[in-house]
Structure 1
Amino acid sequence: MDGMTLDLLVRWVHFLAGIVWVGHNYSSVVQRPNWRPLSAADLIDDQSPRFQALLNREHGTFRWAAVLTWSAGLFMLWQRGILASALSLHRAQAPIGIGLYLGTLMMLNVWFVLWPHQKKVLGLVPASVEERLRCSRITHLSSRTNTMLSLPLLFFMAAGTHGGFLFG
């Protein structure tokens, strides 16, 4: 595969996986703008409609989309020879570097904050009802944090190509 084809493929993987990842957070905000914490009854009764709705949602897709988005972005920066400049926030690469750091923080949030707590909420990891209720709130806040971080992330991703001269 030639370099241009690989670049196009990786760019589209980054773009589409990013839509899945960030889109999951935005759809959560739109579907549940007035989030109501789970009640103990929601967690005790595994047949409750709210609990079943949580179980039926696909939780793996957005986690792996985060990894794919982040990996493709890192690969593109490496392929272009600007990874070190982006990581060091050097001149015109500073905006994309800030985007890289935000994306890294968001991915780590998904895997090391949201997912461990979500596994307890869903009953995939044993936990008391009180612990599951606490974890429900943490997963909500973790998801909302990523949603809010995605706004500056998108800004800095675009500024890397369409405004890097501001940082030069």
Structure 2
Amino acid sequence: MNPLTSVRGAIITGIVLTIVLILVITGQGPELQGVHIDRWIHIVSGITWIGLLYYFNLVQIPGLAAAAADSGGPGGAGVTKYIAPRALLWFRWAAVATWISGAYYLASGYGDHANFIKAITLQPGFRTIGIGAWLGTIMLFNVWVLIWPNQKKILGLVPATDAEKASARKTALYASRTNFILSLPMLLCMGGQSHGLGF
């Protein structure tokens, strides 16, 4: 099987290569020079989630608006039928994987459960990561409570009138743009905690 010919093959090959690299570098279990597997899962799922968030906000939404404005163009039916549902599947489940792996890492990777409490209550020394965790929680809420239910109406996955679809477009857009905005300080906090910006 050529891993370059399918998404599944590429994912499996990437995971196998990661495991081999861990074994070669460390000669042992789940740590790669201090980077735990739970943190690696958090980073990979976070890149998937935020990457798709940026794709939607920087590429797909403006592209569909341009397609709708182009009266002689091909329109956006191909994107809304084939690309958007697949992208939203990866988007919403990457959000869940990011949040769960982040909560697990926060509870276990920072030494003990007391540090988890310090982070979520924004105590000194853990305030940066705590702010990042709260921003990520708000973003997860937006994905599952505001974006996905409204996208189902927009894409015709659930019945909706034209007025309901118009309202759903506005709600989904505002929630997605809110997440786009929140992602910037969230990323600063997530990376900053381990790079000297913990306060």
Bigger Cα Rg = 2
Using CA pairs under 8 Å that are at least 6 residues apart, name the structure with larger relative contact order, 1 or 2: 1
- TM-score, L = length of structure 2: 0.71
Mapped partners of 1:62, 1:75: distance in 2: 20
Distance in 1 of aligned mates of 2:96 and 2:180: 16
Contact 2:67 2:75 (8 Å CA) reproduced: no
Deviation at 1:141, TM superposition (A): 1.7
**What's the counterpart of residue 76 of structure 2?**
50
Do the aligned partners of 2:146 and 2:172 also contact (CA within 8 Å) in 1? yes
The amino acid across from 1:126 in the alignment is P
Q: Which deviates more from structure 2 when the two are superposed, residues 20-29 or residues 110-119? A: 20-29
TM (norm. structure 1) is: 0.83
Asked if 1:68 corresponds to 2:97, the answer is yes
- 5+ long unaligned stretches in structure 2: 1-27, 69-73
Alignment root-mean-square deviation, CA? 2.5
1:23 aligns with 2:40: no
Q: In the TM superposition, what are the counterparts of 1:79-98 in structure 2 within 5 Å?
A: 79=108, 80=110, 81=112, 82-98=115-131
Q: Secondary structure at the match of 2:126?
A: helix
Give unpaired runs (5+ residues) of structure 1. 40-47
Q: Give secondary structure in 2 for the equivalent of 1:36.
A: helix
Question: Where do 1:1-168 residues align within 5 Å?
Answer: 4=31, 8-31=36-59, 32-33=61-62, 36=65, 49-57=75-83, 58=86, 59-79=88-108, 80=110, 81=112, 82-164=115-197, 167=199
Aligned residue in 2 for 1:44: none
State the distance in 1 between where 2:142 and 2:66 align. 20
Give per-residue Cα distances to partners, 1:61-84, cap 9 Å, x unaligned.
110000000111100011132211
